A and B are shown apart, each in its own frame.
Chain A
Amino acid sequence: MVIDRRSFLKGLGAGIAGVAAGSSLLPGKLEAGGTPEDKEFMGVLVDTTRCVGCRSCEMACAEANKLPIPDIGDASAFDKIRSTSETQLEVVNRFKTAKGEVFVKKQCMHCNQPGCVSACPVKAMEKQKEGPVTWDTNCMGCRYCMVSCPFDIPKFEHYGATPKLQKCNLCWERLKKGEKPACVEACPAEALTFGTRRGLIEEANTRIYKTPKEYVSHIYGEHEAGGTGYLYLSSVPFEQIGFRNDLGTTAYPEYTKGFLYSVPVILLLWPAFLSGVSAITKRKENVRSKEGGKL
């Protein structure tokens, strides 16, 4: 069974690396010039049943982003549940479950409707048409994105004269060159699959359908927080491996939508109302002062 899956995926992996522009799992035209209509979200499917916890992805990530290279041989890193930091854009955590050790990669989820993007007052955070959520240097460091992220991912450098905001950007620079994200390329266990979000959901469903005993029947990220670019498969319920199950399916920007939509309305109604009140009190006052003056 395992062999079958492996060989199947090998073929799949080869397909991704090279040929067949028609395949739904391919990055497609990422270069500039493609109309937005051709551009679908790209994402990564993480199959936690396959992850062996080698942390090669962590190392590749650090190399690609020129961050301190972690010592992946040090197993003590698993003693504690780690979260991403300004020097580690992705981390692999180990969870002890009823089905044994499960390793889970954690990084930016690249939401379809990211809270951080709608939080940013200068559009330094951007959701690219191709899926990655990226950061730009016109950021003013207000850290509102950190407050608004449902997955608590963006991290701000606290030191240095020109601190930056750090988060996974799905290797946006590599994507533009037609390459896969560094972590996907580095994964020796084929736990990571890169492709269009549509294709990845199909693929994930196929895996659940084909081997229902291996998986819980849930793709984490398909609907969570409005849907995310990273999708996860697991053999155990997701809350046991460090995922929140209370995020709901509402995209985070929807929470501020009511307020933001009411702002132009209030801006129009309030001055008109106040002007009216003022006109009435002014007239009353005039009448009053008139009477007071005459009597």
Chain B
Amino acid sequence: MNRPTSEVQISNFKDFLVFMQNELKPKGKILTPFNLITGSIILLGGVLILYRFIMGLGSVVHNSSEYPWGIWIGFIVMVGVAFAGGAYVTAFIVYVLRGEQYHSIVRMAVLNGFLAYVFYAGAILLDLGRWWNIVNPLIGNRFGVNSVLFLVAWHFLLYMIAQAIEISPAFAEWLGLKKARKFLASLTLGAVIIGITLSTLHQSGLGALFLMAKWKIHPLWYTEFIPLLFFVSSIFAGLSVVIFIGTVSFRVFDKDRIDEEYRKSWDDIIIDLGKACAITMFVYFLLQVLILVHGKNWALLNTPMGYWYLTEMIGLLLFPAFLFSWGVKSGNPAPIRIAAVLTMIGVIINRVDFSIIAYKWYLPLSERYIPTFMEVVITLAIVFTMVWVFRWIVNRVPILRKPPQWAIEQEQAEMEGRAIALAPQLGLTMADGGRPIEQHKK
């Protein structure tokens, strides 16, 4: 039922239409409990989104001038972007460090990151009170170059383009576009390098947004190092999400969507990812201790907000870090999976703290922000739509399975073109290869 992609031959537009018509059909059972539940939430969310655009922001969200940012920014954008961090970390490992053994997960991570950005940037549109002006910072209806948010907006846009380039060879393989694939693949390294730079800046940039909310955020969370903390935590947040999505994907997708070798290598990869998480979290914890001491805030630990802080630091940071290390040492993926989920919860809480929980923590509960039912439904609808799109793509595009044979050959030809075929005895030629040469002028 799933045509091997290598057979795809599209020579004209009509072929393309036929191909798309065929591909657009659902693959797999439609009426599953998962589909029914998520589908109805998506439908309801869609209606509510329409309602929001017609009636205005206040008709849907908790209307509080004390809390400018609710869960759409505080959860969808802040958490979504941190969770998309897996894309730049994996791309760094595979394309820059050339850790070839992790190649099987890089497309999954990048696709997840790309979709996260598309959907979560979409969520910004929902949250903007004057959403029709969203193009202003981009078209220069005044460039607010003094603004952190201006930078974040541009980095968002550019990083989405970079990620689209990173993932595009997979789509070219799906459509059988050999020449396009070759061209797009040649852009990958450049896109990855720019992408990592942009990620560094806007992961930390999201933290920097809170730098001017000085007294509004509880001193246990507010520090001048927020940008750094956001950046470092995005590393293990992203990797935990890769562990989570990988585990789920390798279980739920049909066998013919997943390469058997990839599936087998997954258990080794998960251990390595767990190791990376454990170490980053350990360093992040030390950083937090350093910042706590630097801010002389230890007395605040023995307050209600202090207990909340400790829950986050110990229960959702140190404990999962310990689980990760345990899984790594015993070679057992099970604790790593649990740790990944705990870490994700920890990161969600951490991000939500900044804009909601620790933001104006001193207000009585009656004046605090509590998301409305409609906000929650729209949030869930966005997340589920993303899951659906992810599934749709994995079912068609070679994300978790190997690329078609022609693409592998193209890749190898590219490698060989670059490789230096020097006989070992001729090391001298290589070593002296840097000498200026007189070009043969015939």
| Direct contact, A vs B (beta carbon within 8 Å) | yes
Q: Which residues of A contact B (CB under 8 A)?
A: 83, 85-86, 115, 117-124, 138-144, 146-148, 150, 152, 155-163, 165, 244, 246-248, 252-253, 255-256, 258-260, 263, 266-267, 270-271, 274-275, 277-278, 281-282, 284-286, 289-291, 294
Instruction: Indicate if the CB atoms of A157 and B227 lie closer than 8 Å.
Output: no
Which residue from chain A places its CB closest to the CB of B96 in the assembled complex? A278
Partner of B215, one of A157, A247, A286: A247
User: Is B264 an interface residue, CB under 8 A from the partner?
Assistant: no
User: Is B25 an interface residue, CB under 8 A from the partner?
Assistant: no
Instruction: Indicate if the CB atoms of B144 and A158 lie closer than 8 Å.
Output: no
Chain A residues contacting B144 (CB-CB under 8 Å) are: 120-123
A150 to B102, CA, bound (A): 47
Partner of A159, one of B59, B151, B209: B59
**B interface residue count range (under 10 / 10 to 19 / 20 to 34 / 35 or more):** 35 or more
Q: Given A120-B144, A123-B142, do A163 and B212 touch, yes or no (CB 8 Å)? A: no
Interchain residue pairs A-B with the least CB separation, the first 9? A141-B129, A158-B58, A148-B212, A141-B130, A146-B68, A121-B150, A143-B68, A140-B133, A123-B142
Q: Give chain B nearest CB distance to A119 CB in angstroms.
A: 6
Chain B residues contacting A260 (CB-CB under 8 Å) are: 146, 148, 151, 208
Partner of A140, one of B58, B137, B419, B424: B137
16 residue pairs bridging A and B, Cβ less than 8 Å apart:
A120-B147, A121-B144, A121-B149, A121-B150, A122-B136, A122-B143, A140-B131, A147-B355, A259-B227, A260-B146, A274-B197, A277-B97, A278-B193, A286-B418, A289-B419, A294-B424
Which residue from chain B places its CB closest to the CB of A146 in the assembled complex? B68
Instruction: Indicate if the CB atoms of A86 and B65 lie closer than 8 Å.
Output: yes
A278 to B227, CA, bound (A): 26
Chain B residues contacting A271 (CB-CB under 8 Å) are: 193-194, 197
Chain A residues contacting B56 (CB-CB under 8 Å) are: 158-161, 163
Partner of B149, one of A142, A267, A294: A142
Q: Give chain B nearest CB distance to A171 CB in angstroms.
A: 22
User: Is B335 an interface residue, CB under 8 A from the partner?
Assistant: no
Instruction: Indicate if the CB atoms of A163 and B129 lie closer than 8 Å.
Output: yes
Instruction: Indicate if the CB atoms of B96 and A270 lie closer than 8 Å.
Output: no
Instruction: Indicate if the CB atoms of A259 and B205 lie closer than 8 Å.
Output: yes
Instruction: Indicate if the CB atoms of B224 and A258 lie closer than 8 Å.
Output: yes
User: Is B27 an interface residue, CB under 8 A from the partner?
Assistant: no
Chain A residues contacting B193 (CB-CB under 8 Å) are: 270-271, 274-275, 278
Encoded as 1 (CB less than 8 Å from any A CB) or 0, chain B from 79 to 102 comes to 000000000000010011110100
Partner of A158, one of B57, B92, B196, B201: B57
A253 to B145, CA, bound (A): 12
Which residue from chain B places its CB closest to the CB of A143 in the assembled complex? B68
Chain A residues contacting B100 (CB-CB under 8 Å) are: 285
Chain B residues contacting A124 (CB-CB under 8 Å) are: 142
Chain A residues contacting B131 (CB-CB under 8 Å) are: 140-141
Q: Give chain A nearest CB distance to B197 CB in angstroms.
A: 4
A91 to B423, CA, bound (A): 84
Instruction: Indicate if the CB atoms of A118 and B147 lie closer than 8 Å.
Output: yes
Instruction: Indicate if the CB atoms of A147 and B69 lie closer than 8 Å.
Output: yes
Which residue from chain A places its CB closest to the CB of B99 in the assembled complex? A281
Instruction: Indicate if the CB atoms of B212 and A122 lie closer than 8 Å.
Output: no
Q: Give chain A nearest CB distance to B398 CB in angstroms.
A: 23
A253 to B214, CA, bound (A): 11
Chain B residues contacting A248 (CB-CB under 8 Å) are: 214
A260 to B200, CA, bound (A): 13
Q: Give chain A nearest CB distance to B134 CB in angstroms.
A: 5
A284 to B55, CA, bound (A): 60
A158 to B62, CA, bound (A): 10
Within B136-162, the residues touching A (CB, 8 Å) are: 136-137, 141-144, 146-151, 153
Encoded as 1 (CB less than 8 Å from any A CB) or 0, chain B from 406 to 442 comes to 0000000001001111111000000000000000000
User: Is B386 an interface residue, CB under 8 A from the partner?
Assistant: no
User: Is B289 an interface residue, CB under 8 A from the partner?
Assistant: no
New A-B pairs, 15, CB < 8 Å, besides A121-B136, A141-B129, A263-B151: A118-B147, A119-B149, A121-B137, A122-B133, A122-B141, A122-B143, A138-B142, A140-B133, A140-B136, A142-B149, A147-B209, A278-B95, A281-B98, A284-B98, A289-B415
Chain B residues contacting A158 (CB-CB under 8 Å) are: 56-58, 61, 63, 129
A141 to B56, CA, bound (A): 12
User: Is B128 an interface residue, CB under 8 A from the partner?
Assistant: yes
A158 to B54, CA, bound (A): 12
Chain B residues contacting A278 (CB-CB under 8 Å) are: 95-96, 98, 189, 193
Within B275-326, the residues touching A (CB, 8 Å) are: none
Instruction: Indicate if the CB atoms of B421 and A290 lie closer than 8 Å.
Output: yes
Within B207-253, the residues touching A (CB, 8 Å) are: 208-216, 224, 227
Partner of A144, one of B61, B143, B147, B422: B147
User: Is B204 an interface residue, CB under 8 A from the partner?
Assistant: yes
Which residue from chain A places its CB closest to the CB of B423 in the assembled complex? A294
Q: Give chain B nearest CB distance to A183 CB in angstroms.
A: 21
